Structure 1
Amino acid sequence: MYETYKNLVYRISVIYLGNTFDAEDLVQNVFVSYYKRLPKFESQEHARNWFARVTVNMCINFRKSYWRRFVDKADEIDVPEDMNVERIEILDILSVLPDKSRLIMLLYYYEQYTVGDIAGMMNMSESAIKMQLKRSREKLKEVLGDE
């Protein structure tokens, strides 16, 4: 399971948390949670959704934790060395979006989750996800139009 889902968990974590150090810790925590519970999955899609949902929840909890509020979040997103230039540029462009919007864009466009799946993961309505996607696209058009 680790080899199959580590990249998904890592990408979500880096985008949401903003740095590789915390993302690596979170990847470990997600897989520790998996190995403690050993949930049974009906399909590969069910497993993929479980890992994404647990990762999002752990990211949210990580960001909410009291001691993390005092950590300087000014560091830019670190990207893995094996990512190509196009992906780095995309991450750089997405960095203008708020965390939640950036995560929704990642899940929708990069991980190809449906609006319904994302709504379930984020505990939001489908219409709220659609609105976040619309606003994010508008913000990105605005930013890209200035370049």
Structure 2
Amino acid sequence: MLNDEQFNHLAKLYMDMVFRLAFNYTKSRSEADDITQDVLIKLYRADKVFDSEAHIKHWLIRVTINECKKAFLSPWKRTEPIEEYASTLSFPSPEHSELFYAVMELPQKYRVPIFLHYYEDYSCEEISKLLKIPNATVRTRLRRGREILKSNLQEADSHV
């Protein structure tokens, strides 16, 4: 069981990652906030011994994914325009903003592996374990997601 100081340190360290993952799943800022809060409460109440920081991060991602899946079962699932959340972000360049919108337009099955691989630096094997899908499926989803992104971004460039 974590003491208050350990929990505060871990909450500060991983809260943004949990939120970003939840947001990538739900595309709703308020839903992602609720899921982040639920995950951190579960961490606080966890009667578990963690071996390392990597073990804690893996556990948090797994719990976040499970909470996101539960949220999709709810008849009160909320959706919000992506622009509301994007307006709170600062992008280093217009290309980064364009990429954010393109990634968020991907279907969830491609968006989440791309987020975990490119933003959280997980390998295909690790993503496979986190999402409980075969390694080959992760690689396929990453490839197809990249192809869709490439196509969508080239279409956007041709319209400019």
| Secondary structure in structure 2 of the residue aligned to 1:95 | helix
Equivalent residue runs for 1:52-91 within 5 Å: 52-68=61-77, 71=78, 73=79, 75-76=81-82, 78-79=85-86, 81-86=88-93, 87-91=96-100
TM-score (norm 2): 0.82
| Secondary structure in structure 2 of the residue aligned to 1:7 | helix
C-alpha separation between the residues in 2 aligned to 1:27 and 1:74?
17
Check if 1:137 corresponds to 2:146.
yes
TM-score (norm 1): 0.88
Q: Which has the larger radius of gyration?
A: 2
Q: How many residues align?
A: 144
Higher relative contact order (CA 8 A, sep 6+): 1
The 1:89–1:127 alpha-carbon spacing in structure 2 relative to 1, beyond 3 Å, is same
Query: Are the counterparts in 2 of residues 26 and 59 from structure 1 also a CA contact under 8 Å?
Result: yes
Query: Are the counterparts in 2 of residues 119 and 129 from structure 1 also a CA contact under 8 Å?
Result: yes
| Secondary structure in structure 2 of the residue aligned to 1:137 | helix
The 1:67–1:6 alpha-carbon spacing in structure 2 relative to 1, beyond 3 Å, is same
| CA offset digits 1:54-99 (Å, max 9, x no partner) | 111111111122332xx5x362261373542445433211122101
Query: Are the counterparts in 2 of residues 119 and 125 from structure 1 also a CA contact under 8 Å?
Result: yes
Query: Are the counterparts in 1 of residues 11 and 40 from structure 2 also a CA contact under 8 Å?
Result: yes
| Secondary structure in structure 1 of the residue aligned to 2:88 | coil
AA partner of residue 50 (structure 1): W
Offset of 1:35 from its aligned partner? 1.1
Between the aligned residues of both structures, percent identity stands at 26
Query: Are the counterparts in 1 of residues 15 and 36 from structure 2 also a CA contact under 8 Å?
Result: yes
Gap regions ≥5 residues in structure 1 = none
AA partner of residue 47 (structure 1): I
Query: Are the counterparts in 1 of residues 28 and 80 from structure 2 also a CA contact under 8 Å?
Result: no
Gap regions ≥5 residues in structure 2 = 1-9
